[in-house]
């Protein structure tokens, strides 16, 4: 990085920190405190009541009521490179993109952007369902600060990229979710400027469209555009990024060659698997007679892990609370891809494993002796029935990462389709058939 | 204390226009009566109030037929309330957009003003038609109505900007607004004339900025109406300007941390 000439830096991030205060619940008892605090601040601003002459420090977050999403993050992004940002959920990746796109301001530090940066942080932002694809393209362009002429110049490319065809004049609400995502992506790609920010955008569309997006991204890079990519898909990060930054709890813990950073990330994940809380999830269904409050993954030796290995044994553990339950409990886990498409359903009723939990709660352990999934990100849902009635059902309950292993014992990994099936090949004599 | 970047807002005027158009089209897109709904609200108010006050208290409306008298007040009041209500929710209601894409934030409270102006134009053309039907002819001083409307716009804009920022910060305010606007209706000279309120209360009464503006507009378009109180009108102008300036300052101050607070 030392030999960078000035002007080769597209974005420079200097000591950025971001503090999010916890949002009050607007309770009445806080009102006097809020009032006094604002009076005190006003007094401080006008120099009354405090030691005069003290520099009016930018309201430093002194109270512990909040959390630091980013702490002293510094790095530079070179012009024309694809920079990947990886890290677990909650490591500050999205916050960083929001700061880069000026959607939110850093609490400390600054980001200097050389070039035009107009970006959508998610596909389809600002789409109005009642309007046609054409109208929404124009709207999105205007939202990104493009003039009418600039939008017109990109219009054909967008329609072609999105593969919408004659539906372009139909209202967007009549589109399939795939069409919607493709149009949104096309808009985001074609309309963004010198610096292009992508947040987990590859979770949309089918495989073919995803690979099209990736090659379009490379094309952008070749045109001299800078791409910042936030993704959980480590294959993509390894395959397409020039450099990767690893965030952990809001700090940059590693930066450099994609392969190095990704393997550092994974080894870290192995060592520090943790339990994920679910009790705050309110999007569940069921009587709540039995309630799953956290989950984690275990490896063969029963250690909590952050990633699981393809072809090896792993267990999904669901910790639950319950009262007294009459009759057997059956549990089912559905493994899905990130689009929510079912890959496999594992159920206690099919395997005659319904159980009667002890009063108070316990752990449901679903062990997969030889994980047949290829490397990538997956999600799961669960559904638990107690005494014949739905007790707890949660879609998209959690995500997990599978890393490459040796499923077939041949040292080679399948990469084309998500599920591996144990099988044998044999070739016989044609006369013997 | 800094001033918001007004040049940036001016550069985004095409976007403001598009967002307003989208809101109007989105609202009327699937309604058979379309934009005529903009007429139905003032007309129904006018009919109900006219009937009610004809049967009960009969407020003197001087040389002006009561329906026209009512409508002239209702137009402005309803425009103002739309600007205030929609403006107040313009930041909290656009959270999805604000959190995903950078835009000059000040455009959000401006868009509802543009939308309400279209409604105002529609109901105003109805007023003009009725005006001619009742056999009136615009006097020369009607040209001054443009000035009164300009003050109205400044007031509505200032209110929308100030309230949008306040509502993003203090969520209770949004819930208080319907009550406030309802009180505003009864404390404004819409169904009654200014002379109904004794002059000794005018200093307090004039804190409602509509008090100076509605009679001024009536004076502009109707002959035989007593000239409006310059004191009341002056108070309204001052309030409009103060609200706009305070609104802009306050908006700029909270803008920075706005997205995190939504």
Q: Give the CA distances from residue B215 to residues A258, B77, B119, B136, in Å, rounded to whole numbers and listed in that order.
A: 72, 12, 21, 18
Residue A53 has pLDDT above 50, yes or no: no
Q: Given A118, A122, A143, which is nearest B15 (Cβ)?
A: A143
Q: Given A105, A118, A142, which is nearest B257 (Cβ)?
A: A105
pLDDT of residue A3: 42
Residue ranges of A 70-109 with Cβ closer than 8 A to chain B: 98, 101-105
User: In chain B, which residue ranges form alpha helices assigned H by DSSP?
Assistant: 6-11, 13-28, 37-55, 66-88, 95-98, 107-133, 145-169, 172-187, 202-205, 210-221, 230-255, 258-261
Nearest to B222, CA basis, from B102, B128, B149: B128
Going residue by residue through chain B, which has 262 residues, state the pLDDT in tens, using 9 for 90 and above.
Answer: 567 788 888 888 888 998 998 888 888 877 777 777 888 888 888 888 888 877 777 676 667 888 888 888 999 999 999 999 999 999 988 888 888 888 888 999 999 999 999 989 988 999 999 999 988 888 888 899 999 999 999 999 999 999 999 998 888 888 899 999 999 998 988 888 887 888 888 888 888 999 989 999 999 998 877 788 888 999 999 999 999 999 999 999 888 877 887 7
Q: Which residues of A touch B261 (CB under 8 A)?
A: 23
pLDDT of residue B9: 87
Contacts of A178 (CB under 8 A, 6+ apart): A205, A206, A209
Residue A415 has pLDDT above 80, yes or no: no
Dump pLDDT digits (tens) for A166-201. 889 998 889 887 888 888 888 888 887 788 887 766
Q: Which residue of A has its CA nearest to B170?
A: A26
Looking up tokens 């007429």, which residue turns up? B39
Q: Given B15, B30, B260, which is nearest A142 (Cβ)?
A: B15
Q: Give the CA distances from residue A258 to residues A10, A14, A264, in Å, rounded to whole numbers and listed in that order.
A: 19, 22, 10
* Rounded average pLDDT over A218-241: 82
How many Cα atoms occupy the beta-carbon half-sphere of B222 within 13 Å? 25
Range A99-104 contact pairs with CB under 8 angstroms and sequence separation of 24 or more: A99/A16, A99/A18, A99/A70, A100/A11, A100/A13, A100/A195, A100/A197, A100/A228, A101/A197, A101/B101, A101/B102, A102/B102, A103/B98, A103/B99, A103/B100, A103/B101, A103/B102, A103/B259, A104/A18, A104/B99, A104/B259, A104/B260
Instruction: Indicate yes or no: CB of B97 within 8 angstroms of CB of A142.
Output: no
Q: Which residues of A touch B103 (CB under 8 A)?
A: 143
Shortest distance between the Cα of A422 and any Cα of chain B, in A, equals: 44
Which residue out of B1, B34, B259, B260 would a mutagenesis test of the A interface target, given it has the greatest number of A Cβ atoms within 10 Å?
Answer: B260
Report the length, in residues, of chain B: 262
Shortest distance between the Cα of B96 and any Cα of chain A, in A, equals: 8
Residue A307 has pLDDT above 60, yes or no: yes
Q: Which residues of B touch A118 (CB under 8 A)?
A: 101-102
Q: Which residues of A touch B257 (CB under 8 A)?
A: 105
pTM value is: 0.74
* Rounded average pLDDT over A206-222: 79
Q: Which residues of B touch A148 (CB under 8 A)?
A: 14
CA B166/CA A13 separation, integer angstroms: 32
DSSP-derived secondary structure letter, A336: E
CA B199/CA A360 separation, integer angstroms: 74
Q: Where are the beta strands (DSSP E) in A290-347?
A: 290-299, 304-305, 307-309, 314-322, 329-336, 342-347
Phi, psi of A275 (to 5 degrees): -85, 140
* Contact status of A236 with chain B (Cβ, < 8 Å): no
Q: What stretch of H or E contains A35?
A: helix A30-46
Angle between helices B210-221 and B230-255 (to 10 degrees): 130
Q: Given B22, B96, B260, which is nearest A104 (Cβ)?
A: B260
């Amino acid at each position: 990085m030392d030999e960078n000439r000035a002007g080769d830096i597209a974005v420079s991030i200097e000591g950025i920190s971001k503090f999010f205060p916890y949002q009050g619940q607007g309770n009445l008892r806080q009102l006097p405190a809020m009032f006094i605090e604002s009076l005190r601040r006003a007094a401080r601003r006008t120099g009354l009541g405090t030691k005069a002459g003290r520099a009016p420090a930018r309201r430093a977050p002194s109270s512990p009521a909040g959390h630091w999403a980013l702490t002293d993050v510094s790095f530079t992004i070179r012009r024309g490179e694809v920079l990947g940002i990886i890290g677990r959920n909650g490591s500050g990746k999205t916050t960083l993109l929001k700061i880069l796109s000026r959607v939110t301001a850093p609490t400390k530090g600054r980001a200097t952007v050389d070039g035009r940066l107009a970006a959508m942080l998610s596909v389809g932002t600002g789409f109005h369902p009642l309007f046609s694809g054409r109208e929404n393209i124009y709207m999105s362009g205007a939202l990104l600060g493009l003039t009418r002429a600039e939008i017109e110049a990109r219009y054909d490319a967008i329609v072609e990229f999105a593969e919408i065809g004659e539906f372009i004049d139909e209202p967007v609400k009549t589109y399939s979710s795939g069409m919607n995502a493709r149009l949104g992506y096309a808009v985001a790609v074609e309309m963004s400027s010198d610096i292009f920010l992508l947040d987990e955008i590859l979770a949309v569309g089918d495989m073919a469209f995803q690979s099209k997006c990736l090659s379009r991204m490379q094309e952008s890079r070749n045109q001299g555009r800078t791409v910042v990519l936030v993704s959980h898909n480590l294959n993509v990060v390894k395959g397409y990024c020039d450099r990767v930054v690893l965030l952990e709890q809001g700090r940059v813990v590693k930066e450099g060659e994609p392969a190095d950073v990704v393997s550092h990330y994974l080894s870290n994940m192995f060592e520090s698997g943790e339990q994920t809380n679910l009790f705050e999830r309110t999007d569940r269904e069921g009587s709540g007679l039995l309630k799953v409050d956290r989950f984690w993954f275990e490896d063969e030796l029963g250690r909590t892990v952050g990633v699981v290995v393809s072809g090896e044994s792993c267990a999904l553990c669901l910790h639950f609370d319950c009262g007294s339950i009459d009759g057997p409990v059956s549990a089912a886990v559905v493994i899905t891809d990130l689009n929510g498409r079912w890959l496999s359903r594992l159920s206690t009723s099919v395997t005659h494993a319904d159980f009667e939990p002890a009063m108070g709660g316990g752990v449901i352990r679903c062990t997969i002796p030889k994980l047949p999934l290829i490397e990538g990100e997956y999600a799961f849902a669960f559904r638990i029935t107690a005494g014949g009635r739905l007790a707890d059902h949660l879609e998209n309950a959690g995500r997990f990462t599978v890393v490459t292993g040796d499923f077939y014992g041949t040292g080679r990994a399948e990469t084309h389709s998500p599920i591996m099936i144990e099988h044998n090949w044999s070739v016989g004599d044609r006369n013997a058939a | 204390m800094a001033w918001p970047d007004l040049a940036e807002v001016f550069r985004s005027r095409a976007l403001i226009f598009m967002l307003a158009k989208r809101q109007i089209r989105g609202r009327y897109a699937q309604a058979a009566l379309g934009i005529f709904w903009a007429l139905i609200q003032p007309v129904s108010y006018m009919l109900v109030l006219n009937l009610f006050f004809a049967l009960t208290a009969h407020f003197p409306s001087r040389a002006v037929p009561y329906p026209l008298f009512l409508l002239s007040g209702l137009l402005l009041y309803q425009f103002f309330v739309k600007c205030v209500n929609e403006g107040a929710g313009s930041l909290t209601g656009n959270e999805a957009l604000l959190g995903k894409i950078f835009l000059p934030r000040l455009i959000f409270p401006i868009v509802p003003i543009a939308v309400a102006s279209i409604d105002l134009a529609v109901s105003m053309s109805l007023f003009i038609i009725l005006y001619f039907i009742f056999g009136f002819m615009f006097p020369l001083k009607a040209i001054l109505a443009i000035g009164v409307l300009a003050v109205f716009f400044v007031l509505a804009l200032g209110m929308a900007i100030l309230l949008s920022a306040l509502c993003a910060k203090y969520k209770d305010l949004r819930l208080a607004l319907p009550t406030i606007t309802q009180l505003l209706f009864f404390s404004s000279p819409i169904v009654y004339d200014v002379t109904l309120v004794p002059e000794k209360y005018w200093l307090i009464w004039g804190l409602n900025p509509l008090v100076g503006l509605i009679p001024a507009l009536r004076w502009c378009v109707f002959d035989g109406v007593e000239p409006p109180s310059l004191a009341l009108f002056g108070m309204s102008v001052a309030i409009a300007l103060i609200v706009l300036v305070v609104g802009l300052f306050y908006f700029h101050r909270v803008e920075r941390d706005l997205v995190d607070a939504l």
